[in-house]
Chain A
Amino acid sequence: MALNIDYVAQTNKLRDVNSDLKIVLSIGVMIFALISSYVPIEIAVIILAAFGIMVIARIKPIIYLKFIAIPFAFTAITCVYLLFFFGVGHVIWDSGIWGVVIRQDALNLATLTFFRVFACFSCLGFMALTTPINDFLHALAKVHIPKVFIELSMLMYNIIFIFIVEVETMKDAQKSRLGFNGYMNSFRSLGSVLANLFFKSLEKAESLQRTLESRGYDGEIPIYEPSKRG
């Protein structure tokens, strides 16, 4: 994987800071950025989050850039759309082709939307890159999110990594026998990988059930939070 958020969350300098604080802080600032409609504030939030991620948590800029690149691209596309196809006010630029124009209120809207989304994503990035998933799940438990949801997320989180490896292995095995070669062939190959994965999932579920039961599982996964931070 090119970007391993999980690994970053486990190794950054802010990892041992109280996770509740990190989560409340980032969600709080995110809501603030969402409500605010003043561009300088959004920019301040973006700078603040970037400072927190790269300077305080010492996460490499390249990692942060990779994290932010995809939402950035989506936001940019959305804002281009807003820029050209919205607004009713004063025309500030006329391309002269088919009446494609930019209007003042569309420009304002696009600018605000862009920075607002970017600010929110920065907050989200701060949380995702500094807080390991288990801390996050513990925090969810504290605010009484249903246990079944938390347990499911926990199991999915762990098993997804095993599945990624499985899928990669199956794909490589198929490629070695000239699968994924051409358009139709790729569809067929993908189909058999997915079908295979389905049966593997069933098997996995069964063996997981057995291993959990062997250690006294009674339908509920207890939460473990050691007092000292090792």
Chain B
Amino acid sequence: MLEAKHIVYKYEDGTRALNDVSITVEDNDMVALLGKNGAGKSTLFLHFNGIYKPDHGEILVDGKPIDYSKKGLLDVRTKVGIVFQNPDDQLFAPTVQEDVAFGPLNMKLPKEEVERRVTESLKRVGMSGFERKPPHHLSGGQKKRVAIAGVLAMKPKIMVLDEPTSGLDPKGASHILQLLYELNKEGIAIIISTHDVDLVPLYAKRLYVIKEGKIIKEGTPKEVFDDVNTIRGANLRLPRIAHLAEILEKNDAINFDGDYPLTISQARRDFKERLGK
């Protein structure tokens, strides 16, 4: 379990990048953090494994506050894995397998175990056979997968992904989310940041909306998207389907009672009911 309690983080000039942010991620949770660019999503994420130290407040991993000693940080970073937005920032080794092995080797695992984990995690993300390729020969989506494998190989309990779908084509994006969904089912808690509001309700169990370093809304996708004004105030929008329902209600007197469908399957059910099928 990961808890952020009243996190305040100031930039050098004193402006507050994060202002009293509290977040709870249960074991096996799937949480999405929504917010516009520069709202503080990445800054918050870097607190989760102790890269940034908050000016006020604390981060608890499994109920214990992060120990910022060398050993304590290694422990936290084994439990909380971060996949960064730009895979080019993360992949540094000359071959895919060396990059994936980096984390496990830092954990000082025996060689056989490292090899097993490299093979397993590459297989898990669908990148078997690319072991000896250099990362710069891969496509954006493939790089992303390798970056995920590199974190997966450390067997974290919680995986934090900063904009996992940014820069990917629609199919690549939905494959990555599908993968995260499966990993979540296998027992890893997942936290993602995104502004892809169409995909979020399909996967996330809970959402947080962050604006100017503050959490302004939290709840299930339904609870959050019901609050249209807050969503729009955070430079976000409703999922297209919900937006359609909103227009139908306002302009065409088709009443949803403000209860807009968020996904295609919800809309389908709703329409079939209305048509009496």
Contacts and interface: CB of A to CB of B under 8 A. Distances in A.
B151 interface: yes
Given A162-B136, A218-B106, A134 B89 contact: no
B111 interface: yes
B115 A215 contact: no
A134 B102 CA distance: 14
Interface stretch (B61-69, B78-86, B236-244): B78-86
Contact of A10 (B81, B103, B132): B132
Given A132-B94, A155-B92, A224-B98, A218 B74 contact: yes
Nearest to A154: B94
A215 B106 contact: yes
A218 B198 CA distance: 40
Given A157-B94, A210-B46, A226-B97, A204 B89 contact: yes
Nearest to B89: A207
B145 interface: no
Interface residues of A, number: 33
B39 interface: no
A214 interface: yes
Contact of A222 (B92, B94, B102, B118): B102
A222 B105 contact: yes
Contacts of B132: 10, 132, 230
Contacts of A10: 132-134, 137
Interface residues of B, number: 42
B94 A215 contact: no
A18 B40 CA distance: 49
Nearest to B100: A224
Given A6-B134, A10-B134, A158-B93, A227 B154 contact: no
A217 interface: yes
A142 to B, nearest CB: 16
A7 to B, nearest CB: 7
A216 B154 contact: yes
Contact of A7 (B78, B118, B131, B137): B137
Contacts of A227: 111, 115
A44 interface: no
A226 B118 contact: yes
Interface of A: 6-7, 10, 132-134, 137, 154-155, 157-159, 161-162, 204, 207-208, 210-218, 221-222, 224, 226-228, 230
12 contacts: A10-B134, A154-B94, A157-B94, A158-B91, A158-B94, A214-B84, A215-B81, A215-B103, A215-B106, A216-B77, A222-B106, A230-B131
Interface of B: 46, 49, 51, 70, 73-74, 77-78, 81-82, 84, 86, 88-95, 97-98, 101-103, 105-107, 111, 114-115, 118, 131-137, 150-151, 154
